[in-house]
Amino acid sequence: MIDPQQTKGWLPDLSTWATLAIAATLPFWVTDLDLRLAASFYRPGSESGDWPQAEHPLWSMLYHGIPFMTAALSLAALSLLSLAVLRPSLRRWRPWAATLLLTIALRAGPSRQWGFQGQLGAPAAAPNP
């Protein structure tokens, strides 16, 4: 049973974060704002390629480095969750580790492809060649 004294602290926080998450993503759910923003960087037929900024070192590093950073965060969160289950002194870290794992597992890309692709008028992502 959940103790009402314990829920008093995290329930308002949870509702605040959920409200902020919905407010931040709502413009992308109901409009094509993300596609219009991306189109402002797309230059078909440009002599430096269709995406002139694509080879910039910062974007290239992020593009190639994100999978490794995601894997490192996943392993760290999984390790922390395992330790928190095995050691009672680390019990307070369980929600943090579980939240991080769920955030990584249900991030925007997979959740859109698995559940919402083609829904609400959102265009389906083109497969990578």
Query: Average pLDDT for consecutive 10-residue bins of the chain (129 residues)?
Result: 57 83 87 86 79 82 86 93 93 90 75 54 54
Residue 129 forms part of a structural domain: no
Residues 6+ apart with CB under 8 A from 128: none
Task: Looking at the structure, tell me whether residues 66 and 101 fall in a common domain.
Answer: yes
Task: Looking at the structure, tell me whether residues 114 and 60 fall in a common domain.
Answer: yes
pLDDT reported for residue 129: 47
Task: Looking at the structure, tell me whether residues 65 and 113 fall in a common domain.
Answer: yes
pLDDT reported for residue 72: 92
d(CA 9, CA 11): 6
Residue 5 forms part of a structural domain: no
- Secondary element (H or E) of residue 59: helix 57-86
Give the CA-trace dihedral at 17, 68, 59, 22, to 10 degrees: -20
- Secondary element (H or E) of residue 101: helix 94-105
d(CA 116, CA 106): 12
Task: Looking at the structure, tell me whether residues 22 and 61 fall in a common domain.
Answer: no
pLDDT reported for residue 84: 93
pLDDT reported for residue 108: 59
Domain containing 68: what range?
A: 56-118
Q: Among residues 53, 73, 97, which one ends one of the domains?
A: 53
Q: Among residues 36, 53, 70, which one ends one of the domains?
A: 53
Q: Please tell me the total count of domains within the chain.
A: 2
